[in-house]
Chain A
């Protein structure tokens, strides 16, 4: 009798563990909790179908992410891992604001420095044309673009969606 010990799934489901059992590579018998938790949330047959639809080399990652999601849902039956997504989206928003503030401060510093450099010739009593530079001075063209910076300068920005019914599914889920 040849036997290999049944995997955690077949032990829990109380069935014979076939040689080509789809669960066996990912749910070893020494970690029964792992299968128990995904079975509780997703159900064995759903997991089996999901794994069957995936190429073999991606099944391990799929199992890991399913275990993660199932654990999150057991820990937080209302929000599951969406709670973590919401938290991270808030963090992204806050950091983007911090970045925008820091960039605005740099702009101010640069403009102050540039304006102090531009004022130097005045102190040397050079003869000027009254028409062009009376009391106001004009910003050179290369500084004008500093006034139109965008806070979202870091490329791919995830929009901040709060957990409201009408917007939660508007989040651009993974494409």
Chain B
């Protein structure tokens, strides 16, 4: 009689844990709470079916995600994972606004700097007016660059 301990699923379900138990690799006896959540939300037979439908090399990821969803649902019985998704979407929206605000500040700084440091006045030399025109073009091109950058 081989003495190996039952997995958390079989322990909880009070049944023998066969050697090819599909749940054993993903619900070790060291973490019984994980299976309790999964069983409460999905049920052992549903989880077994879900894992059977997934190729062997992906079952660990699938079990991980199923456990994550179950725990999220136990912690938030109304929204579960959808609550987390909503929070993340709100966070994205908030960070977007901050980025826009920061871009606006950059442009404002740039414009303020252009006003406080105007190009030198021409002193009757035609070549000055050419260089003034060139500098004005340079400033407007760099403004465009700032707007396009983000």
A84 touches B85 (CB 8 A): yes
Which residues B75-101 have CB closer than 8 A to chain A?
A: 75-85, 87-89, 91-92, 94-96, 98-99
Chain B residues positioned under 8 Å from A154 (CB to CB): 91, 94-95, 98
Q: A43-B46, A95-B92, A174-B83 are in contact. Are A169 and B68 (CB under 8 A)?
A: yes
Closest residue to B31 on the A side, CB-wise?
A169
Tell me which of A46, A158, A171 contacts B42 (CB under 8 A). Answer: A46
Cα A88 to Cα B81 with chains together (Å): 12
Q: Report the number of A-B residue pairs with Cβ-Cβ less than 8 Å.
A: 156
At the interface, yes or no: A61 with Cβ under 8 Å from chain B?
yes
Q: Which residues of A contact B81 (CB under 8 A)?
A: 65, 69, 80-82, 85
In the complex, whether A168 has a CB less than 8 A from a CB of chain B is: yes
Per the bound structure, the CA–CA distance linking A106 and B95 in Å amounts to 16
Interface size class of A (residues with CB under 8 A): 35 or more
| Contact in complex: B77, A174 (CB < 8 Å) | no
Within 8 A of A (CB), among B30-87: 34, 40-43, 45-46, 50, 53-54, 58, 60-62, 64-69, 71-73, 75-85, 87
Number of interface residues of B (CB under 8 A): 53
Interface string of A5-35 (1 = CB under 8 A from B): 0000000000000000000000000000000
- Is B109 at the interface (CB under 8 A from chain A)? yes
The answer to whether B65 and A80 have CB atoms under 8 Å apart is yes
Q: Which residue of A lies closest to B96 (CB)?
A: A95
Q: Is the CB of B84 within 8 A of A61?
A: no
Closest to B89 in A: A88
Residue ID in chain A nearest B40 by CB atoms: A46
- Of the listed stretches A96-104, A121-129, A130-138, A140-148, chain B binds A96-104
| B15 within 8 Å of A (CB atoms) | no
Cβ–Cβ contact B113 & A113, under 8 A: yes
- Chain A 39-91 residues near chain B, CB threshold 8 A: 41-43, 45-46, 50, 53-54, 58, 61-62, 64-66, 68-69, 73, 77-85, 88-89, 91
- Chain B residues near A4 (CB-CB < 8 A): none
Taking a contact as CB atoms under 8 Å apart, the answer to whether A102 and B103 are in contact is: yes
8 tightest A-B contacts by CB?
A88-B88, A65-B82, A82-B65, A102-B102, A174-B76, A95-B95, A174-B83, A78-B62
Q: A78-B65, A157-B91 are in contact. List 12 more A-B contacts (CB 8 A).
A: A41-B46, A62-B79, A65-B78, A65-B80, A73-B50, A91-B88, A92-B91, A92-B95, A95-B92, A95-B99, A113-B113, A154-B98
- Chosen A-B contacts, 21 in total, with CB atoms closer than 8 Å, are A42-B42, A42-B43, A42-B46, A43-B42, A50-B73, A65-B78, A68-B82, A73-B69, A77-B53, A80-B65, A82-B81, A84-B85, A89-B88, A95-B96, A95-B99, A96-B95, A99-B99, A154-B98, A158-B87, A168-B64, A173-B71
